[in-house]
Structure 1
Amino acid sequence: MLALTYWLYFGQLGVLVPYLGIFLDGRGFTSAEIGELFAVITLARILGPGLWAGIADKNGNTVAVLRLGCFLTVVTFCSVFYFSGFWGLTLSFGLMMMFWTAVLPQLEVITMQSVATSRATYGQIRLWGSVGFICLTMAVGKALDVFSSETPVYASVGVLSLLFITALFIRAPQVKNTSTTGSGHIWQYLRQRPFAVFIFASACLQISFGAYYGFFALYLRDLGYSGQQTGIFIALGVLAEVGIFLLASRLIQAFGVWNLLFASLILTGVRWYALGALAESMWVILISQLVHALSFGLTHAVSVHFIHQFLPPSFHSRGQAIYISVAFGFGGALGNYMAGQQWDQGNNAFVTFTTAAAFSVIGALSLLLCKKKEMG
């Protein structure tokens, strides 16, 4: 059931994230407005995770929080059909994101607790999220060639509804009471250099993703690629994730957190620069999408591992929430806003992707402030 939940959760991201720009473009939004809307709704990921994780850690009922988040996500997302203006849609997506942030941190905690008492690894379960992303990205990409730019929102309602139904069948494993483990406040762990450097590097990585998340599909459309081709390119990137998730545990044991993060961030910088400079070549796009295995898949698996090992069990939900809030929330919002301001209807694509590359490299260099053994 956890695998199916990941399939639907990340499948929904495969519906919305690559194609939200096309949906908004179809509604008549400018590139600046698209970037601003992406930034505003991403800000919900700063406030939401901490709120929900605090509730989950205090009452210990992560499953209930996950289910409530799924239900409220469906309800609030449906309001997108009643708004057409900038602020109305911003409200719809912002509320949806606020409740959406209740899902993933709790799902990660439940999964890590479950694999601790089984032969399965985190990567073996998490890879089904990548499979869901691939399937629905390709399906919606093909559908966009046939139907209107409204297709992503209709598909999203169906996927989110199924996610809520699936969440009703999730059962959390029994774990020992950890209320006295890791006494004190979580701040005593967050202010330590390894965690601070990790969060900064993660935020830089997500800032760099702004151009990709907001404008990759529009970029390829402007270069003459079809919706189906775009779906295949995006799916290829996520397919590469599947392979890396199967290898993630062994890679972490062999090379450690620091080495894997550093290599992934450097190669991600190369990826963004190549997209901005050479995207007319299909081979460049194909190779850059394979690097997505490192840009997202490996960095995420390593990050979840680092948080689970660095923080005591009583702070796991809040640790995951802080990671999502700062990296994906603040970092994602800043990246989306900057990309929207730079894009200029695609005229500044090279500058936008070069800026993204610079932030990824800055994140890699920041890791030099921390010793390898401190991060594991």
Structure 2
Amino acid sequence: MSINNRNLIVLALTYWLYFGQLGVLVPYLGIFLDGRGFSSAEIGELFAVITLARILGPGIWANVADKTGNALGVLRLGTFLTVLTFSSVFYFSGFWGLTLSFGLMMMFWTAVLPQLEVITMQAVSKSKANYGQIRLWGSVGFICLTIAVGKALDVYSTDTPVVVSIGVLACLFLITLFISAPGAASKAEAAPGHIWQYMRQRPFAVFIFASVCLQISFGAYYGFFALYLRDLGYSGQQTGLFIALGVLAEVGIFLIAGRLIRTYGVWNLLFASIALTAIRWFALGVMAESATVIFISQLVHALSFGLTHAVSVHFIHQYLPSSFHSRGQAVYISVAFGFGGALGNYMAGQQWQQGTNAFETFTTAAIFAAVGALSLLLCAKKAFDEQKNT
């Protein structure tokens, strides 16, 4: 086995653990906080506060990675500090204590994914593999741990997600020690200007705006989907299986994402995916009592998250010069997932009212997704698909 192929396997395991951790925490953090006695408004506020760390963190870490050329070092440091700070969750029980724990954890967590994406794109460029074939293992990890923790919640306490998280984060740090930088240890060639000159161009600005709207719309799903299903009478195991179904659909989409991008282009795929996401949220608000509706809506998750993410990574990688790749990924994550995610979480928390306003909350989510899709009409399709910079 060649060194690069071995590295691709290690990268696949890293994605498995990274997104496996998200599969432990994202669907079930609301249940953990509910078990600690938090109201839905407090849960939404805590989600919003800790998500704000995703605005500041990615830019800081990506700037270090791009200027030093040491994305791998930043990746390892981020995973180590994430384990260290997350451990403090066991010493706090109040709102501000847990907010501090999760906020610090998130600050260091933001160092991980942008660097992992850049290292993976560099590694696959030297092999016959493509990004989707490596990234899909993150979805597999999400599925495995979501199902396992969902089943465990039927047996053990609501503290289960944070206990499992510590083990997963420790393994994530250890696996990063085996990653090899794929010939990118030196500083990237400097590109003229500043990343702002690319951000203010219409295609990139429209892309970011649509991404923000999409992430705002995810607030209700990320914060309250598991609680919503529990209130509707679904068991923890059923909830885990529904969540895992959505991510299983992602696996399939990642396998063919490269082919879809080449065939249909960035703009078409983003528009279709975000528009269908709007329909997904509305259906959840209206007909979630039907297991069939939930089943179909979770299949759409392949587009809502999987395809939009694969297309977004592709767009950033082709649109920006190589010396701006980490910072480009950081802008995408910090603005879309950070600002958009924080606003979406806060709004959903204020609307939810212990589930009595579930319809209104998911309808608001649908409106934001629809606005995101329509905003893409402000830019020509070919502007999204041109390889403008090398």
1:183 to 185, 192, 208: 192
The DSSP-based 3-state class of the residue aligned with 2:157 is: coil
Once residues 204 and 129 of structure 2 are traced to their aligned partners in structure 1, the CA distance between those partners, rounded to angstroms, is: 27
User: Is residue 2:61 matched to residue 1:52?
Assistant: yes
Map of 2:207 onto structure 1: 198
Once residues 200 and 189 of structure 1 are traced to their aligned partners in structure 2, the CA distance between those partners, rounded to angstroms, is: 14
CA contact (8 A) 1:67 1:168 kept: yes
The DSSP-based 3-state class of the residue aligned with 2:19 is: helix
Once residues 167 and 183 of structure 1 are traced to their aligned partners in structure 2, the CA distance between those partners, rounded to angstroms, is: 32
Task: Give the drift of 1:176.
Answer: 9.2
The DSSP-based 3-state class of the residue aligned with 1:344 is: helix
The 5-angstrom pairing of residues 36-185 of structure 1 reads 36-175=45-184, 179-185=188-194
The DSSP-based 3-state class of the residue aligned with 2:129 is: coil
CA offsets 1:334-355 (integer angstroms, 9 cap, x no match): 0000000000000000000000
Once residues 242 and 128 of structure 1 are traced to their aligned partners in structure 2, the CA distance between those partners, rounded to angstroms, is: 8
Once residues 149 and 291 of structure 2 are traced to their aligned partners in structure 1, the CA distance between those partners, rounded to angstroms, is: 21
Map of 2:38 onto structure 1: 29
CA contact (8 A) 2:136 2:254 kept: yes
Task: Give the drift of 1:178.
Answer: 6.7
The 5-angstrom pairing of residues 293-312 of structure 1 reads 293-312=302-321
CA offsets 1:209-232 (integer angstroms, 9 cap, x no match): 000000000000000000000000
Q: Which amino acid aligns with 1:214?
A: G
Q: CA RMSD in A?
A: 0.8
CA offsets 1:314-365 (integer angstroms, 9 cap, x no match): 0000000000000000000000000000000000000000000000000000
Map of 1:11 onto structure 2: 20
CA offsets 1:163-182 (integer angstroms, 9 cap, x no match): 00001111111149674452
CA offsets 1:285-318 (integer angstroms, 9 cap, x no match): 0000000000000000000000000000000000
User: Is residue 2:260 matched to residue 1:251?
Assistant: yes
CA contact (8 A) 2:217 2:368 kept: yes
Map of 2:7 onto structure 1: none
Once residues 190 and 319 of structure 2 are traced to their aligned partners in structure 1, the CA distance between those partners, rounded to angstroms, is: 13
The 5-angstrom pairing of residues 292-331 of structure 1 reads 292-331=301-340
Percent identical pairs in the alignment equals: 81
CA contact (8 A) 2:20 2:145 kept: yes
Map of 1:20 onto structure 2: 29
Once residues 173 and 184 of structure 2 are traced to their aligned partners in structure 1, the CA distance between those partners, rounded to angstroms, is: 24
1:375 to 365, 384, 388: 384
2:296 to 281, 287, 299: 287
Q: Which amino acid aligns with 2:211?
A: S
Once residues 338 and 235 of structure 1 are traced to their aligned partners in structure 2, the CA distance between those partners, rounded to angstroms, is: 26
Once residues 227 and 326 of structure 2 are traced to their aligned partners in structure 1, the CA distance between those partners, rounded to angstroms, is: 36
The 5-angstrom pairing of residues 208-357 of structure 1 reads 208-357=217-366
When the two structures are aligned, how many residues end up with a matched partner? 376
Q: Say if 1:176 and 1:75 are closer, same or farther in 2 by CA, change over 3 A.
A: closer
The DSSP-based 3-state class of the residue aligned with 1:184 is: coil
What is the TM-score normalised by the length of structure 1? 0.99
Task: Give the drift of 1:49.
Answer: 0.2
Task: Give the drift of 1:184.
Answer: 1.3
List gaps (5 residues or longer) in structure 2: 1-9, 386-390
Once residues 178 and 20 of structure 1 are traced to their aligned partners in structure 2, the CA distance between those partners, rounded to angstroms, is: 39
> Bigger CA drift: 180-189 or 162-171?
180-189
List gaps (5 residues or longer) in structure 1: none
Q: Say if 1:124 and 1:97 are closer, same or farther in 2 by CA, change over 3 A.
A: same
CA contact (8 A) 2:70 2:185 kept: no
What is the TM-score normalised by the length of structure 2? 0.96
The DSSP-based 3-state class of the residue aligned with 1:173 is: coil
Once residues 209 and 284 of structure 1 are traced to their aligned partners in structure 2, the CA distance between those partners, rounded to angstroms, is: 18
CA contact (8 A) 2:66 2:187 kept: no
Runs of 4+ in 1 over 6 A off after TM superposition: none
The DSSP-based 3-state class of the residue aligned with 1:33 is: helix
> Bigger CA drift: 184-193 or 128-137?
184-193
Once residues 196 and 324 of structure 2 are traced to their aligned partners in structure 1, the CA distance between those partners, rounded to angstroms, is: 10
CA contact (8 A) 2:70 2:187 kept: no
Once residues 91 and 189 of structure 2 are traced to their aligned partners in structure 1, the CA distance between those partners, rounded to angstroms, is: 48
